[in-house]
């Protein structure tokens, strides 16, 4: 092939190649444009996706923050709730409890996790597990179940509600529970019922008080003749006279009748109570030497009575007569609870209570001398416990075993002495009465011997006896004249005022309760306007009322209880006359 032809062929092929290159360039340009357009689209899609992912991430972070706040709020509510909240798994093991739950039982929250109720609180296991199984088995809530739960702070009354805890598919995976401490409400209800019972008892006592108040004044006036005249008769009768014994018997019968009146007044909280410093050991020993104790042994020969007395027992301020009567009533009650052979233990001890506690009643903190009377008798039935101190409530035969006032007198005496009573009893195993009396650091003043009559004889002083009862005026006059006093009498306050207007007297013996007309206070007010500093003693069978205290503020002296005893009456008059007035 010639060179020219070869060149032409090359040129032809070159043109073809150029054409193809041109086409390829065009195709490449189109492809690049498509690529750039595609990449632009992809970039837009990526940008949008990135934006959405960021938005999702922001939203998720926002949701996480909200969830964190919500969880924190839930934790705050969970742990600040006054109710006990808990969560158990399907195996009845605690998963989580709130702060109140942990505080109630004195444990840490972490120590509860993974434990069963039996492992944590064995005393309350049966009732709690029964309700757990009921919720898991029946798959239904158990609402407002009432239960007593033992805690370090004592037995608590709880109101418990439980519901089954389910997962997203509805399967039960545990129990959620809530318990509310209803102890205070329960106690409040108990206190409300106790107040109702106390009100009922108070109404009964008020009825007794009205009865005692209505009859005591007249009975004491009647008994004065029975108790006081024997004193005068015995002064006139020789020591070897056969009449002495019958007269003493009459007097002792009168004193026993006066003691029954005093029991009624004690119940009505209107008895005359004179306090002195003494010791329970002395009073126990005095009772064991008494005729009442001998009589008890005669009726219950198979009952042994033993003493366990604290040698260093602290003293108390009390009315010895009333405390001795209380000891007697408790021992009699104990003996009558024993059928056949048995034992009664009289014990005393010192006791300091640093925290008030409640069993039969609340016993406040303080220092106490304690008297306990324990018997091996039949015990006290639960239905009788609430009424044991009610007047006339008795299981005994009325008229055979007493008046029905014995235990009521015990209650009244203890309360009058600011004391407390506790009772422990088991049917068929016996009863212990524990009496708490506030102690005193005062020493006991030894009693003097019986005074000779010459020591309280008068010197002819003028005495005015004011009483609306003739027998009272007569017996007082006879006693005072026997003691060498001159005596005038007045049957009313008005008559007494009229007498002192005419003649000044050395002493007025003034009855506080007189009717009709002026009582003792009104009478004395008028007398002291005429004779400031007038000496007087007050007489009555009732306790010291506000009117008595007002009379004493005006200058009247000692308050003498009826019926009169010769020596007591004579000493009271003599002591009042000795007082210096300004």
pLDDT digits (tens, 9 = 90+) for 492-503: 999 999 999 999
Query: Of the candidates 228, 237, 241, which has an alpha carbon nearest to the alpha carbon of residue 472?
Result: 228
| Mean pLDDT of the region 151-169 | 81
Tell me if the bond preceding 516 is cis, omega within 30° of 0: yes
Q: pLDDT category, 400, cuts 50, 70, 90?
A: very low
Query: Of the candidates 516, 568, 505, which has an alpha carbon nearest to the alpha carbon of residue 539?
Result: 568
Q: pLDDT category, 285, cuts 50, 70, 90?
A: very high
Q: What SS3 string covers 142-192? A: EEEEEEEEEECCEEEEEEEEEEEEECCCCCEEEEEEEEEECHHHHHHHHHH
For the chain, the average pLDDT equals 79
Structure tokens, 426: 């088991």
Query: Of the candidates 373, 289, 283, 372, which has an alpha carbon nearest to the alpha carbon of residue 320?
Result: 283
In the 8-state DSSP scheme, what is residue 313?
A: P
Distance CA 2, CA 11 (A): 14
What is the residue extent of each domain of the chain? Answer: 1-80, 85-181, 190-255, 280-440, 453-578
The two domains 85-181 and 280-440 share their CATH topology (first three levels equal)? no
Pairing of strands 342-353, 303-308: parallel
Position 335 pLDDT exceeds 70: yes
Model pTM score? 0.49
Q: pLDDT category, 397, cuts 50, 70, 90?
A: very low
Counting DSSP H helices and E strands in the chain, the numbers are: 17, 19
pLDDT at res. 398: 43
Q: Write the pLDDT tens digit of every residue in 528-570.
A: 999 999 999 998 765 557 788 888 899 999 888 777 778 888 9
**In the CATH scheme, what is the code of domain 453-578?**
3.40.50.2300
Distance CA 292, CA 299 (A): 11
| Mean pLDDT of the region 473-480 | 88
Q: Write the pLDDT tens digit of every residue in 403-430.
A: 556 777 788 788 888 899 998 988 888 8
pLDDT at res. 450: 63
Q: pLDDT category, 149, cuts 50, 70, 90?
A: confident
| Mean pLDDT of the region 296-302 | 89
CATH of 280-440 among 2.60.40.420, 3.40.50.300, 3.30.300.90, 3.30.565.10: 3.30.565.10
pLDDT at res. 131: 76
Residue of 74 and 476 predicted with greater confidence: 476
3-class state of residue 273 by DSSP? coil
C-alpha dist (Å) from residue 342 to 29, 74, 430 = 127, 65, 10
Give percent helix, percent strand, percent coil of the chain, each to the nearest 5: 50, 20, 25
Note the CATH architecture for domain 85-181: 2-Layer Sandwich (3.30)
Position 445 pLDDT exceeds 80: no
Distance CA 540, CA 559 (A): 8
């Amino acid at each position: 092939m010639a060179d020219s032809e070869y060149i032409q062929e090359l040129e032809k092929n070159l043109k073809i190649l150029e054409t193809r290159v041109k086409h390829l360039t065009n195709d490449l340009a189109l492809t690049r444009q498509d690529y750039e357009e595609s990449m632009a689209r992809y970039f837009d899609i990526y940008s949008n996706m990135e934006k959405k992912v960021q938005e999702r991430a922001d939203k998720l972070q926002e949701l996480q923050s909200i969830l964190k706040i919500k969880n924190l709020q839930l934790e705050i509510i969970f742990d600040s709730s006054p109710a006990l909240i808990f969560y158990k798994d399907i195996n009845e093991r605690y998963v989580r409890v709130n702060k109140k739950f942990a505080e109630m039982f004195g444990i840490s929250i972490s120590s509860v996790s993974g434990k069963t109720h039996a492992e944590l609180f064995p005393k309350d296991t049966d009732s709690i597990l029964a309700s757990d199984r009921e919720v898991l088995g029946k798959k239904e809530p158990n609402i407002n179940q009432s239960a007593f739960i033992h805690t370090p702070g004592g037995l608590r009354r709880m109101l418990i509600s439980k519901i089954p805890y389910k997962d997203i598919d509805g399967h039960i995976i545990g129990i959620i529970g809530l318990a509310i401490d209803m102890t205070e409400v329960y106690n409040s209800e108990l206190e409300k019922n106790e107040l109702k019972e106390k009100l009922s008892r108070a109404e009964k006592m008020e009825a007794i008080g009205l009865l005692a108040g209505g009859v005591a004044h007249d009975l004491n006036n009647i008994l004065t003749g029975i108790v006081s005249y024997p004193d005068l008769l015995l002064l006139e009768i020789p020591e070897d006279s056969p009449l002495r014994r019958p007269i003493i018997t009459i007097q002792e019968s009168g004193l026993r009748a006066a003691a029954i009146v005093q029991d009624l007044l004690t119940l009505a909280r209107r008895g005359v109570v004179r306090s002195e410093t003494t010791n329970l050991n002395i009073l126990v020993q005095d009772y064991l030497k008494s005729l009442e104790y001998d009589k008890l042994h005669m009726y219950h020969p198979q009952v042994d009575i033993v003493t366990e007395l604290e040698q260093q027992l602290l003293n108390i301020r009390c009315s010895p007569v009333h405390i001795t009567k209380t000891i007697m009533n408790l021992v009699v009650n104990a003996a009558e609870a024993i059928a056949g052979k048995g034992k009664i233990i009289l014990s005393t001890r010192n006791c300091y209570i640093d925290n008030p506690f409640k069993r039969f009643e609340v016993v406040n903190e303080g220092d106490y001398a304690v008297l306990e009377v324990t018997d091996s008798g039949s015990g006290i039935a639960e239905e009788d416990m609430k009424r044991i101190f009610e007047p006339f409530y008795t299981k005994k035969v009325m008229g055979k075993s007493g008046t029905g006032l014995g235990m009521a007198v015990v209650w009244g005496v203890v309360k009058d002495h600011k004391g407390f009573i506790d009772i422990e009893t088991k049917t068929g195993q016996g009863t212990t009465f524990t009496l708490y009396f506030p102690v005193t650091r005062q020493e006991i003043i030894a009693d003097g011997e019986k005074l000779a009559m010459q020591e309280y004889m008068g010197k002819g002083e003028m005495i005015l006896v004011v009483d609306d009862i003739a027998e009272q005026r007569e017996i007082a006059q006879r006693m005072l004249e026997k003691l060498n006093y001159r005596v005038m009498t007045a049957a009313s306050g008005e008559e007494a005022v009229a007498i002192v207007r005419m003649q000044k007297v050395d002493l007025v013996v003034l009855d506080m309760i007189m009717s009709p007309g002026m009582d003792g206070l009104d009478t004395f007010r008028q007398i002291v306007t005429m004779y400031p500093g007038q000496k007087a003693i007050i007489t009555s069978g009732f306790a010291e009322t506000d009117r008595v205290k007002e009379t004493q503020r005006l200058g009247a002296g000692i308050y003498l209880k009826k019926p009169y005893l010769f020596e007591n009456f004579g000493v009271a008059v003599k002591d009042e006359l000795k007082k210096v007035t300004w």
